[in-house]
Amino acid sequence: SAQRSLWVRTITHCQKEHLSTKLLPEELPPDFLRAVTCQVCDHLLADPVQSPCQHLFCRSCILKFNRALGSHCPACTLPYDVSDLTSPAKAFLGILHSLPLLCPKEGCGERVKLDSFRDHYHDHFCKENTNEEQNNAEQNLDCYLPVNKGG
């Protein structure tokens, strides 16, 4: 798992782009968590695509994964063609984008929907408007990286 975490970082480089499951306000059931996380990077799904074997990945992750390791599914190893990736059901995307995340900015503690989280979070720092704090913000989000999640 530590090993997997390592190669994922070297292939996807998505730590600063994607959101960690640690932003969820409570410990959700593992089966549910797996259903909303990328089977490549373990972050919350970002712009997800679905394989013919019906597993889900961030679009950028599966493309990088395929380029590095060939086009088989990272979850079940089934081979498939990249052109067979489809968009997940709209009802599923609605649920994903409405997941409540807990803003980690000190003193905020607001629950923000996943699809407006990034805007909300960055607003904290745009208002304060210094480069130094912008950097802190990014470091802060890094603390919510998933590590050693098993599987």
**55 is a site residue for a second copy (CB under 8 A):** yes
Identify the DSSP state of 105: S
Q: How far apart are CA 95 and CA 36, in angstroms?
A: 9
For residue 94, the minimal CB distance to Zn ion (Å) is 20
Query: Of 8-16, 23-31, 62-70, 115-123, which part binds a second copy (CB under 8 A)?
Result: 23-31
For residue 132, the minimal CB distance to Zn ion (Å) is 19
Query: Of 2-10, 85-93, 115-123, 128-136, which part binds a second copy (CB under 8 A)?
Result: 85-93
**144 is a site residue for a second copy (CB under 8 A):** no
Q: How many CB atoms lie within 10 A of CB 81?
A: 10
Q: How far apart are CA 87 and CA 45, in angstroms?
A: 12
**95 is a site residue for a second copy (CB under 8 A):** yes
β-sheet bridge partners, residue 112: 101
Q: Of 16, 33, 14, nearest to 24 (Cα)?
A: 33
For a second copy, the binding residues (CB under 8 A) are 24-32, 34-36, 50, 54-56, 88-92, 94-95, 98-100
